[in-house]
Amino acid sequence: MAKLTRRTALMQIASTVAAAGLLSSRRLAAQPVNELRFGLTPVFLNNDIELLEKLKTYLAKATGLPVTLVQRRTYQEVTSLLISGELDAAWICGYPFVKNRQRLKLVAVPVWHGKPLYQAYLITGKDRNASSFADLKGDLHAFSDPDSNSGYLVTRALLAELKTRPESYFSSTFFTYGHRNVVRAVASGLAGSGSVDGYVWEVMRKTEPDLINQTKVIQKSEWLGFPPIACARSMVNSKKLNALSPAILNMESDADGRAVLALLGLDGFNQFPPSLYDDIAAKVALIEVG
Protein backbone atom coordinates (compact mmCIF):
# COMPACT_ATOMS: atom_id res chain seq x y z
CA MET A 1 0.00 0.00 0.00
CA ALA A 2 1.35 3.44 -0.90
CA LYS A 3 2.07 5.80 1.96
CA LEU A 4 -0.85 8.06 2.84
CA THR A 5 -0.60 11.64 1.62
CA ARG A 6 -1.67 14.47 3.91
CA ARG A 7 -4.63 15.22 1.67
CA THR A 8 -5.77 11.59 1.72
CA ALA A 9 -5.42 11.43 5.51
CA LEU A 10 -7.43 14.60 5.97
CA MET A 11 -10.18 13.27 3.69
CA GLN A 12 -10.31 9.95 5.58
CA ILE A 13 -10.40 11.69 8.95
CA ALA A 14 -13.16 14.04 7.83
CA SER A 15 -15.14 11.12 6.39
CA THR A 16 -14.93 9.09 9.61
CA VAL A 17 -15.88 12.06 11.79
CA ALA A 18 -18.84 12.90 9.57
CA ALA A 19 -20.05 9.31 9.50
CA ALA A 20 -19.92 8.89 13.28
CA GLY A 21 -23.25 10.55 13.83
CA LEU A 22 -25.17 9.09 10.90
CA LEU A 23 -26.03 5.66 12.29
CA SER A 24 -28.68 7.20 14.49
CA SER A 25 -29.56 10.58 13.02
CA ARG A 26 -33.19 10.75 14.08
CA ARG A 27 -34.14 12.05 17.51
CA LEU A 28 -33.76 9.47 20.27
CA ALA A 29 -36.96 10.58 21.93
CA ALA A 30 -38.94 9.39 18.91
CA GLN A 31 -37.77 5.79 19.22
CA PRO A 32 -40.01 3.00 20.59
CA VAL A 33 -40.08 2.63 24.36
CA ASN A 34 -39.07 -1.04 24.16
CA GLU A 35 -36.04 -0.37 21.96
CA LEU A 36 -32.59 -0.92 23.42
CA ARG A 37 -30.42 2.13 22.77
CA PHE A 38 -26.70 1.32 22.99
CA GLY A 39 -24.14 4.09 22.61
CA LEU A 40 -20.71 3.87 21.04
CA THR A 41 -17.88 6.40 21.29
CA PRO A 42 -14.72 6.58 19.14
CA VAL A 43 -13.18 4.08 21.56
CA PHE A 44 -15.08 1.66 19.39
CA LEU A 45 -13.62 0.60 16.03
CA ASN A 46 -16.54 2.45 14.50
CA ASN A 47 -15.90 2.35 10.77
CA ASP A 48 -16.22 -1.43 10.54
CA ILE A 49 -19.70 -1.94 9.11
CA GLU A 50 -19.52 -5.72 9.45
CA LEU A 51 -18.71 -5.39 13.15
CA LEU A 52 -21.55 -2.95 13.78
CA GLU A 53 -24.06 -5.18 12.04
CA LYS A 54 -22.92 -8.29 13.88
CA LEU A 55 -23.04 -6.49 17.22
CA LYS A 56 -26.53 -5.19 16.55
CA THR A 57 -27.74 -8.63 15.42
CA TYR A 58 -26.26 -10.36 18.45
CA LEU A 59 -27.67 -7.88 20.97
CA ALA A 60 -31.13 -8.06 19.40
CA LYS A 61 -31.11 -11.87 19.53
CA ALA A 62 -29.66 -12.10 23.04
CA THR A 63 -31.94 -9.48 24.60
CA GLY A 64 -35.09 -10.12 22.58
CA LEU A 65 -35.35 -6.39 21.92
CA PRO A 66 -34.97 -4.22 18.83
CA VAL A 67 -31.59 -2.49 19.03
CA THR A 68 -30.34 0.90 17.89
CA LEU A 69 -26.61 1.59 17.95
CA VAL A 70 -26.09 5.28 18.63
CA GLN A 71 -22.83 6.93 17.58
CA ARG A 72 -21.75 10.49 18.10
CA ARG A 73 -18.69 12.49 17.15
CA THR A 74 -17.41 13.09 20.68
CA TYR A 75 -17.21 11.26 23.99
CA GLN A 76 -18.99 14.17 25.66
CA GLU A 77 -22.06 13.80 23.45
CA VAL A 78 -22.43 10.09 24.19
CA THR A 79 -21.78 10.59 27.91
CA SER A 80 -24.43 13.32 28.07
CA LEU A 81 -26.99 11.06 26.38
CA LEU A 82 -26.09 8.29 28.81
CA ILE A 83 -26.43 10.43 31.94
CA SER A 84 -29.73 11.89 30.76
CA GLY A 85 -31.20 8.41 30.25
CA GLU A 86 -31.54 8.77 26.48
CA LEU A 87 -29.26 5.74 26.16
CA ASP A 88 -29.78 2.51 28.08
CA ALA A 89 -26.04 1.83 28.17
CA ALA A 90 -22.91 2.82 26.27
CA TRP A 91 -19.36 1.71 25.70
CA ILE A 92 -17.50 4.74 26.95
CA CYS A 93 -13.99 5.51 28.25
CA GLY A 94 -12.49 5.34 31.72
CA TYR A 95 -11.97 9.10 31.82
CA PRO A 96 -15.66 10.14 31.48
CA PHE A 97 -16.62 7.24 33.76
CA VAL A 98 -14.34 8.60 36.48
CA LYS A 99 -15.56 12.16 36.00
CA ASN A 100 -19.18 11.02 36.29
CA ARG A 101 -18.83 8.03 38.60
CA GLN A 102 -21.50 9.37 40.99
CA ARG A 103 -24.03 9.23 38.15
CA LEU A 104 -22.83 6.16 36.27
CA LYS A 105 -22.73 2.44 37.05
CA LEU A 106 -20.44 -0.18 35.53
CA VAL A 107 -22.24 -2.82 33.47
CA ALA A 108 -19.27 -4.77 32.13
CA VAL A 109 -15.59 -4.39 31.32
CA PRO A 110 -13.87 -5.93 28.30
CA VAL A 111 -11.23 -8.58 28.93
CA TRP A 112 -8.24 -8.38 26.60
CA HIS A 113 -5.43 -10.95 26.72
CA GLY A 114 -6.89 -12.23 29.97
CA LYS A 115 -7.06 -8.89 31.78
CA PRO A 116 -9.45 -5.90 31.99
CA LEU A 117 -6.54 -3.61 31.18
CA TYR A 118 -4.96 -1.70 28.33
CA GLN A 119 -2.28 0.96 27.77
CA ALA A 120 -2.00 4.35 26.14
CA TYR A 121 0.63 4.66 23.40
CA LEU A 122 2.61 7.64 22.22
CA ILE A 123 3.37 7.12 18.54
CA THR A 124 5.38 8.82 15.82
CA GLY A 125 6.40 8.13 12.22
CA LYS A 126 8.21 4.87 11.54
CA ASP A 127 11.29 6.43 9.94
CA ARG A 128 11.67 9.29 12.39
CA ASN A 129 14.84 9.47 14.46
CA ALA A 130 13.04 9.58 17.80
CA SER A 131 13.13 7.15 20.70
CA SER A 132 11.75 8.95 23.75
CA PHE A 133 9.01 11.33 24.82
CA ALA A 134 11.60 14.11 25.01
CA ASP A 135 12.15 13.73 21.25
CA LEU A 136 8.52 14.69 20.66
CA LYS A 137 8.88 18.14 22.21
CA GLY A 138 7.89 20.85 19.76
CA ASP A 139 5.77 18.49 17.63
CA LEU A 140 2.42 19.07 16.05
CA HIS A 141 0.66 16.47 18.21
CA ALA A 142 -2.59 14.63 17.51
CA PHE A 143 -4.97 13.80 20.36
CA SER A 144 -8.06 11.65 19.99
CA ASP A 145 -10.69 13.40 22.15
CA PRO A 146 -10.56 15.78 25.14
CA ASP A 147 -12.45 13.17 27.21
CA SER A 148 -10.29 10.23 26.13
CA ASN A 149 -8.04 8.58 28.71
CA SER A 150 -5.48 7.11 26.33
CA GLY A 151 -6.00 9.73 23.64
CA TYR A 152 -5.55 12.76 25.89
CA LEU A 153 -5.57 12.34 29.68
CA VAL A 154 -2.50 10.09 29.98
CA THR A 155 -0.34 12.51 27.97
CA ARG A 156 -1.81 15.51 29.78
CA ALA A 157 -0.98 13.90 33.15
CA LEU A 158 2.54 13.01 31.98
CA LEU A 159 3.10 16.65 31.10
CA ALA A 160 1.66 17.74 34.46
CA GLU A 161 4.28 15.57 36.16
CA LEU A 162 6.87 17.54 34.15
CA LYS A 163 5.26 20.80 35.35
CA THR A 164 4.15 21.75 31.87
CA ARG A 165 1.10 21.64 29.60
CA PRO A 166 0.41 20.50 26.00
CA GLU A 167 0.36 24.05 24.65
CA SER A 168 3.82 24.65 26.11
CA TYR A 169 5.41 21.29 25.29
CA PHE A 170 4.11 20.88 21.74
CA SER A 171 4.19 23.48 18.98
CA SER A 172 0.50 22.84 18.41
CA THR A 173 -2.14 20.17 19.04
CA PHE A 174 -5.44 19.08 17.50
CA PHE A 175 -8.17 16.50 18.12
CA THR A 176 -8.99 13.89 15.49
CA TYR A 177 -12.07 12.43 17.28
CA GLY A 178 -11.08 8.82 16.72
CA HIS A 179 -8.06 6.67 17.57
CA ARG A 180 -7.84 5.39 14.00
CA ASN A 181 -7.66 9.02 12.93
CA VAL A 182 -4.69 9.65 15.23
CA VAL A 183 -2.87 6.78 13.53
CA ARG A 184 -3.77 8.14 10.09
CA ALA A 185 -2.56 11.62 11.01
CA VAL A 186 0.80 10.34 12.23
CA ALA A 187 1.22 7.83 9.38
CA SER A 188 0.65 10.55 6.78
CA GLY A 189 2.93 13.09 8.45
CA LEU A 190 0.02 15.40 9.15
CA ALA A 191 1.06 15.14 12.82
CA GLY A 192 4.54 14.54 14.13
CA SER A 193 3.26 12.41 16.98
CA GLY A 194 0.04 11.26 18.60
CA SER A 195 -1.65 9.88 21.70
CA VAL A 196 -3.60 6.71 20.96
CA ASP A 197 -5.40 3.76 22.54
CA GLY A 198 -2.92 0.87 22.67
CA TYR A 199 -5.68 -1.70 22.20
CA VAL A 200 -6.85 0.02 19.00
CA TRP A 201 -3.25 0.27 17.73
CA GLU A 202 -2.66 -3.44 18.41
CA VAL A 203 -5.91 -4.51 16.73
CA MET A 204 -5.06 -2.33 13.73
CA ARG A 205 -1.62 -3.95 13.57
CA LYS A 206 -3.48 -7.15 12.59
CA THR A 207 -6.29 -5.63 10.52
CA GLU A 208 -4.48 -2.70 8.87
CA PRO A 209 -0.76 -3.55 9.01
CA ASP A 210 0.20 -1.33 6.06
CA LEU A 211 -1.11 1.70 7.94
CA ILE A 212 0.27 0.75 11.36
CA ASN A 213 3.68 -0.05 9.88
CA GLN A 214 4.04 3.62 8.99
CA THR A 215 4.13 4.39 12.71
CA LYS A 216 6.07 3.27 15.77
CA VAL A 217 5.45 3.33 19.50
CA ILE A 218 7.68 5.69 21.47
CA GLN A 219 6.25 5.11 24.93
CA LYS A 220 3.58 3.02 26.64
CA SER A 221 1.69 3.94 29.80
CA GLU A 222 1.13 1.71 32.79
CA TRP A 223 -1.76 -0.74 32.54
CA LEU A 224 -5.11 0.99 33.13
CA GLY A 225 -8.77 -0.01 33.36
CA PHE A 226 -10.17 -0.90 29.93
CA PRO A 227 -12.91 1.39 28.52
CA PRO A 228 -16.10 0.08 30.15
CA ILE A 229 -19.73 -0.39 29.28
CA ALA A 230 -21.74 1.79 31.68
CA CYS A 231 -25.27 2.95 32.34
CA ALA A 232 -26.88 5.78 34.27
CA ARG A 233 -27.56 4.83 37.88
CA SER A 234 -31.23 5.53 37.24
CA MET A 235 -31.25 2.66 34.70
CA VAL A 236 -29.73 -0.01 36.95
CA ASN A 237 -32.95 -1.94 37.62
CA SER A 238 -34.62 -1.34 34.26
CA LYS A 239 -35.93 -4.31 32.28
CA LYS A 240 -33.80 -3.39 29.29
CA LEU A 241 -30.60 -3.29 31.34
CA ASN A 242 -31.54 -6.59 32.98
CA ALA A 243 -31.71 -8.05 29.46
CA LEU A 244 -28.52 -6.34 28.25
CA SER A 245 -26.21 -7.30 31.14
CA PRO A 246 -26.32 -11.09 30.64
CA ALA A 247 -26.16 -10.62 26.87
CA ILE A 248 -22.85 -8.77 27.26
CA LEU A 249 -21.43 -10.97 30.01
CA ASN A 250 -22.26 -14.24 28.20
CA MET A 251 -21.16 -13.18 24.74
CA GLU A 252 -18.37 -15.75 24.54
CA SER A 253 -20.84 -18.62 25.05
CA ASP A 254 -22.80 -17.81 21.87
CA ALA A 255 -21.58 -18.38 18.31
CA ASP A 256 -22.75 -14.94 17.14
CA GLY A 257 -21.27 -13.38 20.25
CA ARG A 258 -17.94 -15.08 19.61
CA ALA A 259 -17.96 -13.69 16.08
CA VAL A 260 -18.31 -10.17 17.53
CA LEU A 261 -15.52 -10.79 20.03
CA ALA A 262 -13.26 -12.11 17.28
CA LEU A 263 -13.73 -8.93 15.27
CA LEU A 264 -13.03 -6.87 18.38
CA GLY A 265 -10.00 -8.93 19.35
CA LEU A 266 -11.40 -9.38 22.88
CA ASP A 267 -11.68 -12.43 25.14
CA GLY A 268 -15.07 -11.37 26.47
CA PHE A 269 -16.63 -9.13 29.12
CA ASN A 270 -16.78 -9.47 32.89
CA GLN A 271 -17.74 -7.47 35.98
CA PHE A 272 -15.14 -5.58 38.00
CA PRO A 273 -15.32 -3.04 40.83
CA PRO A 274 -15.06 0.72 40.16
CA SER A 275 -11.66 0.68 41.88
CA LEU A 276 -10.31 -0.66 38.57
CA TYR A 277 -10.32 2.99 37.48
CA ASP A 278 -8.56 4.48 40.51
CA ASP A 279 -5.34 5.04 38.56
CA ILE A 280 -7.27 7.04 35.98
CA ALA A 281 -8.92 8.99 38.79
CA ALA A 282 -5.44 9.85 40.10
CA LYS A 283 -4.52 11.28 36.70
CA VAL A 284 -7.70 13.37 36.67
CA ALA A 285 -6.80 14.74 40.11
CA LEU A 286 -3.26 15.49 38.92
CA ILE A 287 -4.33 17.62 35.97
CA GLU A 288 -6.98 19.39 38.06
CA VAL A 289 -4.31 20.44 40.54
CA GLY A 290 -2.07 21.54 37.66
pLDDT tens track for 216-259: 999 999 999 999 999 999 888 889 999 999 999 999 999 999 99
- Using pLDDT thresholds of 50, 70 and 90, give the confidence band for residue 28: very low
pLDDT tens track for 73-110: 899 999 999 999 999 999 999 999 999 999 999 999 99
The single-letter DSSP state of residue 4 is: P
Distance from C-alpha of 180 to C-alpha of 163, rounded to nearest angstrom: 29
Domains of the chain: 12-116+226-289 (3.40.190.10), 118-224 (3.40.190.10)
Helix/strand/coil (H/E/C) assignment for every residue in 150-202:
HHHHHHHHHHHHCCCCHHHHCCEEEECCCHHHHHHHHHHCCCCEEEEEHHHHH
Residue 36: enclosing H or E segment and its boundaries? strand 36-40
